[in-house]
Amino acid sequence: MSLKVRGLTTTFDTPRGTAIATADIDLDIAPGEVLGLVGESGSGKSVTLRSIMRLIREPGRVSGRVEWGGRDLLALPDEELRRIRGREIAMIFQEPMTALNPVLQVGLQIEENLIAHTSLNRRERRARALELMNTVGIPAAERRLQEYPHQFSGGMRQRAMIAIALACSPKLLLADEPTTALDVTIQDQILKLLLQLRDQLSMSVVLVTHDLGVVAATCDRMAVMYAGRIVETGTVANVFAQPHHPYTRGLLGSVPRGHAVRSMLASIDGTPPSLTALPTGCAFHPRCSLATDHCRTARPPLVSVSEGRMSACFRQRDVAAMEGIL
């Protein structure tokens, strides 16, 4: 099944006013595809995933349409939505130490998903939990099932979270920075595991990250977010080769490059705007060297610029024509 997101908007009421965490998000994820969702911290990546899963609570409000298998997830009754969460769509949360229940054995937390979505008996659930622990590469799996999250290392907790998410062989996996705070060796293992499981289960993956190296190694397409909006989409190869938005160009320019002359790392001037006081026009214009009066007064729509490419920039042709990366 494919996921189609249209006009997804998430807002929060705060003492300072309404914070627009995401606005008019349009996404399409094909079966078996890995989509990378990238951007600075606070750009709306995690909120987008939680909104898709309808995990936003008051004072948050979500509007738009999230189509999955011909059903709008935002309009489904709670009971029907619970049958989809964990079974058809699963999520790996950003920090496993807070996502896992500290007072329950890891094996029981895997079995909770199986109790909710399968008719397996107790012995079959334990066998499935053991199988999942072995699948995600946790050593001494039978003993580890009896242990608690604090007895696991960071990498092992992340693997346990993946085992819980994969318990019912979902068709869509929402992975919210699954390699955060892990060393590069464990990070590589986790990413290879996700790709391997994607192939085995014909599973689609939405991977939230701010690491462009991870995107280059694992994703088919990417969507770049800034201030709650998608500003550019396309295949990873095309976006890396020729960005059409100055923010994307700035992100790529800030990545260290091998065999380059030793110099200061490039960075994007300024800071992301407050979500309760977004600039008029293009939200990126205060940090953009190409901004014009048009950019300061009108918000550029996300439009098609070529086959499979979209950009939300009035000066995308000028950006695309620039040589090299900043």
Amino acid of residue 312: A
Contact assessment for residue 311 and residue 244, using Cβ atoms and an 8 Å cutoff: yes
Amino acid of residue 222: M
Least confident interval from 10-19, 39-48, 262-271: 262-271
pLDDT for 180 equals 72
Q: How confident is the model at residue 287 (pLDDT cuts 50, 70, 90)?
A: very high
pLDDT for 326 equals 45
DSSP letters for 134-170: HHTT-SSHHHHTTS-GGGS-HHHHHHHHHHHHTTT--
pLDDT for 259 equals 63
Q: Residue 59: is the preceding peptide bond cis (ω within 30°)?
A: yes
Percent of the chain predicted with pLDDT > 90 = 72
Q: Cα separations (Å) of 15 from 9, 19, 59, 149, 164?
A: 20, 10, 11, 36, 37
Which residue, among 45, 272, 66, has the nearest Cα to 177 in the 3D structure? Answer: 45
Summarize pLDDT for 243-260 with one digit per residue, the tens. 999 999 999 988 777 666
Residue ranges of alpha helices (H) inside 219-289 are: 236-241, 246-253
Angle at 231 between CA 5 and CA 222, to 5 degrees: 65
Res. 157: pLDDT tops 70: yes
Three-state DSSP state, 78: helix
Q: How far apart are the first and last CA of the chain?
A: 39
Give the span between the Cα atoms of 8 and 22, in whole angstroms: 7
Which residue, among 110, 113, 146, has the nearest Cα to 129 in the 3D structure? Answer: 110
Give the span between the Cα atoms of 289 and 73, in whole angstroms: 40
Three-state DSSP state, 57: coil
Domain ranges of the chain: 3-224, 248-321
Q: How confident is the model at residue 96 (pLDDT cuts 50, 70, 90)?
A: confident
Q: Which residue is it, tokens 């694992």?
A: 218
Which residue, among 56, 43, 42, has the nearest Cα to 10 in the 3D structure? Answer: 56
DSSP letters for 189-230: HHHHHHHHHHHHHT-EEEEE-S-HHHHHHH-SEEEEEETTEE
pLDDT for 98 equals 84
Summarize pLDDT for 161-218 with one digit per residue, the tens. 989 998 998 999 999 988 776 778 878 888 888 888 888 888 999 999 988 988 998 9
Q: Indicate the CATH number of 3-224 among 3.40.50.300, 3.40.50.1820, 3.30.360.10, 3.90.1200.10.
A: 3.40.50.300
Give the span between the Cα atoms of 227 and 127, in whole angstroms: 45
